[in-house]
Structures are given as C-alpha cells and as structure tokens.
Structure 1
C-alpha cells in the first residue's frame, strides 16, 4: 500500500499546479479589459445553398448570435457553426493588399445582409476569388448551388467586376450653393467616394441623409437655418442680409458613412475558418462653401449740403459741398448699393443735380418745397461714382446782391439700368436750409462835395452826399472835417490814420435811398486848408449777423471835398499927426504994460476912426464841443480891446497938442 501511496501523492502534485495555472489565467482574462476584440458565436447557416451531394457543404452566409451575417474567408476549413468568434478590425496576418481589402469591404457591406440565396452564394464565391480557392475553381464551388449553379456563377462574376470597379477607400462630402441677383438661390449636398482603382465616384442621390446649416440665409419662405436633407437633393434658400452684397455660407455634415476600406474579421481558436463581417459605418464627412451675390435690396441716398460761402460779393464764384451717404430705411440696404462688373462689384453711380436760385430780396424761409417761380442762376450736375463721400459742385457766379439758395435732387433715371437703376431711391433737398443760403450784400456808392473852395473864418460848411445803389435801409454815414492843414492835401492822399490829423468836427447823415443829402454843417474857425472824408459801419446787422449794406469808407483826400479858410483881415490903426519940434528959449522978463487974460485956443481934434464891425458867427451844428464858441469870443474880445486902445491913443494925441499950444502961448 505504501508503495502504491507514493505514486498517488506524486500524481496529485502536477494536477494541483495545473489547477492553479488555470485559475490565474481565468483571473487574467476576467480582469483584462476587452478593447478591439468581441466574442460572438456562429449559430448556423444564413442565406445560400447546401450541396445535395454530401448534405454538409455550404455556399452562402453564416448567421451570428447578434443577428448579423458573415462570409467565410478560408475555404476548405471546418465550418464555423457552433464556434465562438472574436471580432477585430483590420487584423494582421491576412496577407491581402489594400485593394483586396477594399474589395472585401465593398462585398461585405453590399451583400452580407441579403435575403436572396443566389445573391448570398455568388457573394461568397466573390470573397473566395480574393482570399483563395484552395486550388480549385469558382465553377467547382458553384456546384454547391445545385440547380442554381450557373446563375450563381454568373452573378459571382458580376459581383467580382463590381467590386473591382466600385470598391472605395474614403468618402467626402460636397455642397453646391447658388445665389442669384434676386437674393434667392439653391443649396445641394453630395457625397463623393475615392475608388480603390483610382479616381472618384458620386454616391447615388438619396442614399444618405445629412444636415445643412445656413448662415446669411434661410430655407424657402420659412425661418429655418438648419435642415435634414438627402444627398443630391436641392433646397431653395433666400438671403437675409442688408449689406450691398449677400454672402451665404452653407455647411453640410454626414455621419455613419460606410465607404472606408476597413474590414472586420472574426477568428475562432478551434481551427475553424475566419469570418468576414460588415464593418460598422462610422465615417463622417463635412463640407462648407460660401456664395456671394449683389443684393437686390434698394437703398435711399441722401445728401447733406453746404454752400462754399455764406456771404460773398457780386461776381464771386461759389460751389456747393455735397456729403453723400445712405438714409436708413426699413427693409432697405444699410450701405451703398453695388452692381456686378467684370468679376467684381462697383458702387451704383448716381447724379446729384444742383440748382442755384436767386436773387431773393429778403431772407428766404425754410420749406419742404421749392418756389416754382424762383429765378435760376445756374444748374450743374455732379457724378457720384464712388459711393458715399464728399463731393463738390462746379462753380456758379453770383450776378448781383441779394440772397441765393442751393437746391439739390437725385433722380434714379440718371443711373443706367445695367448699373442698378431699379435699386436707387429718389431724393430731393429742402429749400433754404441754413447751410445752403449765400448772401451778397448791396454795394452802394456815395460821392461827396462841398460848396466853394474858400470861406471866411468861422464859416459853417456842410458836406454834400450823393447816394446811388442804396437798397432802402437806413445807413448812418459819418462825415469828418479834417483840418486845418498848412497846405491842401493832394488828391488821393490817404488820411485813414485819423489820430495823426486834426479833426475840426464830425457830422452824421442817415442815408436810406438814392439821392442827394446835406450833412449838418461844421464850423471852420481857424485859417488853413480843410477836407471832408466819410465812413460808415453799414446797415444794422440781421439776426444771422449779415448786413444789407456792409461797412464802407472813403478816407482819401479829394479836391471836390477840400476848401480853405482865409486869414482874417486886420483893422487899420489910425496914425497920429507928427509932433512939431519945439525949441524952448528962456523968457526975458518984460514988464507987460497991462495984464491980460489970454484966451485958450481950442486944439483941433482929429475925427475918431470907425471901429471894425465884429465877424458874423454862424450856428454850430456839428459835434466838436465849445472850441468854436471860445474862438469867436476871443476874437470879439480882441476887437474890443483894439477899439479901446485906438480911442485912448486919440485922446493922448489931443492932450499933447493942447499942451503944445499952451507952451507956445506962454512964449
């Protein structure tokens, strides 16, 4: 028994080791994650033919536990029915070229799911034609189809040809976008495969569904911007932009596409043949495209205008500044419209027609309408070729004084049809806006003169003003009498520096219309030369600061405005008679015979000369103050003094003569 026990213990030790190894392997398998492999059991035959010759040989697909169907890859090996298979993608060791793999992928996805026995049998023959026939022919294996042998064989050749022609390695999406000048268009998606033999092929329309997403447009007449569509099917769209051009972007996306050359193979460890499965469709394809077209929406141009001169002189040339832009209007373009030209776009041209109206006698009032009977100075046209911006009209000459007003308009008829006439809105300016009025003030003339070229001292001399071209508004004119000068200023001498010249007086005259005016007179009391000049600040300013008659002056010396004041005549002083020389001899005392009282002779008294008459004093009407009055008073006082001196002299002469007579009598 002892001898028998040892072998028993010895035989148990290897068994224990084996059990332990199996447990470790089971744990490893259990704990290891499944990545690319998946166990799946083949449950039996699918679609095809069982050969009547042995009742076991099968030609067709095999059914798997998950309901899928597969083709046999290795003819001559044991049947896969009842065995478990692990699936993997593109496993190594098949020994097939990329082209052959693409063919197998095409056959599998095209016919693996068929329900037709002949089709399944023919597809199996097509697979073996690629993987190998184990030294036999297709015709040999086609015999398994029994009475369908010839039909199956013929179809197999067709499948082989199709696989060679249609097998693919990749797929790409396409999208076609068309956008017209009306703002509507179409979009269509497509799929294009890359063939294993080289080249590409379009996938038949309607084969797959994808999604098209739009930017800048919507589908049909609705509001949707995304839609599920079949490949190859066209959809109507409409642009929604408000720019001068419509730019629409369309993006199509497809998923679950089967056009790769990837194959899925099932392998069993039981030595049975491998199976070819249809690879899950996981390929995606996306494509975007953009289309641009001229927008059909209209736009409304507008112009902000400003005259080049708010005031100017008659004969001046003025222009009008045009600032061109787009007026915002609902459902119209927000920018300047364009038209298509030689593969590009250009701004739609418009013409701004400008008319200068006037003259108007008074400041025109703003109005939305233009006066129909207003005189027209000129009309000019400005071509707007480059869209929004600043433009300037041609010149117009102001013919006279008065108010002048620019008005403008845009007429679509000035734009050619081919360049977008039907999209141009009409425009017309208001009348007499503040920036569109030019004022030309009146340019009246005044000629002045004085009466006489010589006057006596103290003469009150007025200025004569001859007015021409005055518009009927009050214009104060100041006349200035300059002098006295020692010499008469020459004709044309500039006397504008009034502070350096003597001013005898000032007088103001209000001139309102054409005619002759006389200023208040100004006294010229001192001898010398005088000249009148004049100046004016013009008419009173209006609310806008303009003047009907602007400031003017004439500060030059003119002979017609000059006169002289003569030196005053000095009264003649009477001359006393010469005093006789008297020699006094000492008297000899003589006794007079008798005493007589001598008579006193009356001395002859010369006549008293007449006193000079005082000069005439004229009323002073200027504004020079009391200087002329003081001068006149001084003159009067001087004359009185001279008269008294003359009387006193005469009396002294008379007294002297009387004294001389007494002396003579005494002798």
Structure 2
C-alpha cells in the first residue's frame, strides 16, 4: 500500500485510517523500541542516526562497514527483509517506476559520496531525510508527504535544515566534473601559484573530493604535504618553486568523483525498502603545462650627463636599467631574470656609443645615418634594475653629440641563460641623450691706420673664426665699440675702464673670414682711441669680448697744422684745388708728385723768386726816375 493512502482526504472512514496507521509502523524504522545497535536482517546494524518520535532516522552498516540508507519510504523497514541480496548499479528507479533524471542521479550520487560515510548522528539523520526526498514518491521537499512525516517525527530543526542544505548543495555541486588548473604569474625567487578547482556541472566548485597533484620538470611544491588535499568551496592553491631552467607540467587527479548513478541493494522479500549503498564514482584528472622561463627583455632609459658642456670635457651616460615583457607576453612589469634555485640575477653588457660632432641637433629615428661621425663606445655590465653610470668620453669639438645603447644576448652571464635574453637597441636622437658643445668664436681686428688727425675717419678689418652655422644663419653681428679720446695710449686690460668715453659704434656680420667695417665717426678731438670687438653670444655660440687697448685696435689723433701766413715780400701762392671726395678731410700742404725731384723744384723756385724780386726792384727804380724827371 502506498503512503498516499495514508494522506488521502477522500477516505474519511476510520477503518482505512487505522490500516494506514498500521502501515506507518512497519516503515524503515523499527516497530518496537530497540537500541541504535540493534541487528537488522542480513547482518546489517543500525549505525549513526537519530531516534525520532516514532522511527529511527539514520544509516545502516554491515559487518564489512559499508554504510547504506533506506529508500522507498512507503515500503516496509529493513528489519522485515530477512536479508539483502547483491545490489545493482546505475541510474536509480523509484518504487513507482519513475526514473531519476541525470541531474537527480548526479545529485544523489554526490550526496552519498560526500556525507554518506559520516559517523555523526545528526549528519546521518540529515542524509537519510535528503535520500527520502530524492528517491521516495511523494516525499519531495515541501510536499504534503514530507511535511506529514516531519510533523510526526518532531526531528530537531537543525537536522531538517541541514538536510535541506545538503540537497541544495548536491544539486549545485554535482557532476559531471572538470578539473580546472590556473597557473598565475611567477613571483619572487622563481615561484608561481597554481589555483586548482574541481567544478561541477554548473561551474560551481565541488567540495569534499579527494585530490592530488604531481609535478614534472624542474619544479617542486613549496608546501609540506601539499600533494594531496580535500576540495572545498574555494580553489586550492599550490605554490610551485622552479628549481632549474626548462618547462614541465602539473597534473591534478581526483580519483573518485561521483558519477550520475548509485549502487543499491535489493531485499530478499518483496515490499521492503531497498538500501542505497554508495555512489558510482569515476576518476577525473587534468594536466597544465608549465612553460619554460619567458623571454627576458632588458631595457635601458638613458640621460646624458650634461645637456651642454665645453670642448675637451668628459661626458658619460646615465643608464636606468629595467625589464619589460617580451613581445606578446603579459602586460605589466616583468621581473629581472634570475637563476632558478639560487636566485642569482643574470648580467648583460650595455654598449653605449657616442655619436658626433654633428652640425645640427639630431633627428629622432630608429638608427644613426650611415655617415654619422662617432666619438667612441663604452661598455657597462648590469645585473638588475637600477641606475648605472657609463665610462666617460671626451667631446673634441663644438657641435651636437648623442648616445645610443644596445644589448646583445651573447654578453649574458652565465652563458646558459643567454637563450632567455632578447636583444635590445635604443633609438637615435633622443633629446635626453643629447649633449651640445657650443661654438667659441675668435675675432681679430686691425684699424686702417694708427695715426690720424682730427676730422679724419678710420675703418676696421675684422677676421672671424669659430662661428657655428646656426649663429651665421640667424644674422648675428659683431659690435665694434670705439672709446676715446683718451689722454694717452691705453694700456691693455680685460675690461673697459668705467671712465672711458664711448666715441662711436659700427657692426659687422658674425661670419667666419675677413671683412671690412664701415667708417667710425670722424675724430672730433685729439687723443688716442681704441676699439673693443664683442659678440653677445646665442644658444649655439659663446659670447666674445676682445681686450681694451689692443695695439692693433688703437689710433692716436693729432691736431691738423694751421696754414702759415705769407711774408711781406712773398707772393701768395695760388690755393690748391679742393678734394673731389665727399666727406674727406682737407689735404695737408704737401707738394704734388710731378716727377721733378723736390730739391730741383726748390732750386727753381728760388731762382724764380730772385728774378721776380729783381724785376720788382727795377720797376720801382724806373718809377722813381720818371718822377724825378717830371719834377724837374
């Protein structure tokens, strides 16, 4: 008779109710009071469980220690079986002929596998309630049949709540299973972490399953007894320590995972409950390859020791060494390669090359142009991230200089690690790697004369050298400043005296080579005058100032001699014609060059003067004779 008869409201007759009550007393739990260890037919004994108001709710064990739970709640209890024959295995079929679906079978199997062997009374009672809810017709949770039993038995609330929780967990963590292994990035001292989970059909971590790990290759587990564990709701973490170069694998095995099926025993008599003995189990495993050490990419960021310096100074490069993931590798900062086992970092050589001098600032590009002049190369061995200074090189002349760096795997120490090091080459023309050596001009000058007279003008011959092309292109000028009049020829000094008067200035282009200046202003007073040449400097050329009182730049000016008045007997000489040159000072009284020697010319003049005086005397005498005759 089914349990539904017991619950039927259509039959109100007392006789039917009495029959049902009688049947309830014949269920899985004993009809007469008995101890928990009371024997059951076929060598089975009641084990862990709870004696409820009317029935024993728990597990049974045989002489071999096999635990089992009653099913088919509406049938008679195991005490009525007399014994149990060999069981069956597979998907379970309820007493009404309905088969459990794969999900229900998997949940039932998980329930028995995880909690079936418990020795705790309350846990065993919870398992029994969950088994009835899954296998007995009309006994699902929240059904009228289950509610009636719970009211009649008055089980502890904790037992019922745990039974409900077990059922829920069994469905969420049931198989089929997958072993999930996730290897995380390597940490300090060559270690890495493996996160291992056994996932059920819905991706939830399944707890309560025995698992083990095995390593191959140059690796070892850092944890003691870490090779075996029982799965939990959270992933199990393993720390793998690399002991050498090379790759390997991590294999995780779960030898007994509950499959979608159970084992049950058949009673020797009809109408008696079957016993669910165990879950059907099957192995699950998975392997994850542990890659060899990744390719290591050392990197260098550099900065020249000086952005600007002078000819003949020593410059060096400041290296900031680091590492980065290889192309296609994971993002983020990559650790510097160290030898597994002892943690010794590998070392590589950074070759730094100084290019120059260059006529203009270098342009950023992947590599130097083929015709780029080179000062030299220096080598710096580095063994990890940090800042290093290279040996120095002397910059020989003005211009721009720029560093480039390179790393070759062949320079790796120890040599066996070279296959893990990638080559590196820096770009050419990086601003921070550039040093500029300014041009230093040299200017020499020579005045057109060093003796002059008031009212005259002079010019300057300027010879420039050492000007850089940028200075020439900007139209820079050299300023020529004339100081005077000075009371005497100046002494050579580096600076212009504070009381030296400025006479005038002229400018010439700042060029390499010789050129002539315009005339300074005319001299207005006697004395000495001297010129100072100066260049203000610019971004590419240093300033220049010549000394004060350079002999080549000094002229002394005298007064022009005044014209002599004629003697009384002298004949006034005709005036010389004025100069045709505009702005020229009056010519001094000198004899014109006619081709006649000066002494001859002087003698001729004296002869002519004597003749003139004789004629004048004769004339005067004739006039006196004529007067006297007239007077007579």
What's the TM-score bracket when you normalise by the shorter of the two chains? Answer: 0.3 to 0.5
TM-score of the pair, normalised by structure 2: 0.48
Pick the structure with greater CA Rg: 1
TM-score of the pair, normalised by structure 1: 0.46
